[in-house]
Chains A and B, each alone.
Chain A
C-alpha cells in the first residue's frame, strides 16, 4: 500500500516537472515547483514509514517550511521586476 503511494507520488512529481519545463508563462512554472515541493513532503513522510525511521518527519516539516518560503521569495522577486518594468518605461 505504501509502495503504491510512493509510486503515485513519483508519477505526479514527474508530471509537475513536465509542466515546469513546458508551461508557457512563468506562473505556470512557479505553480509546478510548488506542487513538486508539496509532493516531496508527502514522499518523505511515506518513505519514512516505509523504512521504519520516523525521524524523517522532521525533514518533511523542514521541507514544507522551505517550500513555502521559496514560493514567497519568488513572488517577491516578481513584484520587484514587475515594478521595475512598469516604472522604467517612460
Chain B
C-alpha cells in the first residue's frame, strides 16, 4: 500500500513540474498578452494544486496537511480572480487580443 502512495506522489510531482515548465515556456513564446495569460493560468491553478496535493500526501495527517489545505484553498480562490481582474483591466486599457480576422488578412 505504501508504494502506491509513493507512486501517486511521484506522479503528482512529475506532472506538476511538467505543467509548470510548459507554462513557463508558454509565457516566453506566445505572441499576445491574452494567450500568455492563458499559459500562466495553467501553472497557477492546476500545477499548483498537483504539487500541493503531492506535498500533502507526503506530509501525512496533521497540522502540516491542514496548512497546506489552507494554502491550496486560498490559491484556488485568489489566482483565478486575479487573472480575471487583470484581463478585465487590460481590456479596459484597450489592449486588444489578436483575432482571427486580423490574422487572415495578413
Q: Which residue numbers of A lie inside 8 Å of B, CB to CB?
A: 1-2, 4-5, 8-9, 11-12, 15-16, 18-19, 25, 27-28, 30-32, 34-35, 38-39, 41-42, 45-46, 49, 54, 57-58, 60-61, 64-65, 68, 71-72, 75, 78-79, 82
Q: A9 contacts B20, CB within 8 Å?
A: yes
Q: B78 contacts A68, CB within 8 Å?
A: yes
Q: B67 contacts A58, CB within 8 Å?
A: yes
Task: Provide the main secondary structure of the chain A interface.
Answer: helix
Q: B75 contacts A64, CB within 8 Å?
A: yes
B25 to chain A, nearest CB (A): 7
Q: B67 contacts A75, CB within 8 Å?
A: no
Q: Which residue numbers of B lie inside 8 Å of A, CB to CB?
A: 9-10, 13, 16-17, 20-21, 23-25, 27-28, 33, 36-37, 40, 43-44, 48, 51-52, 55, 58-59, 63-64, 67-68, 70-71, 74-75, 78-79, 82-83, 85-86, 89-90, 92-93, 95
* A12-B20, A54-B63 known; A82-B93 Cβ under 8 A: yes
Q: B43 contacts A35, CB within 8 Å?
A: yes
A31: chain B residues at CB < 8 Å are 27, 33, 36-37, 40, 86
A16: chain B residues at CB < 8 Å are 24, 27
A60: chain B residues at CB < 8 Å are 71
Q: A12 contacts B23, CB within 8 Å?
A: yes
* A1-B10, A46-B51, A75-B85 known; A18-B28 Cβ under 8 A: yes
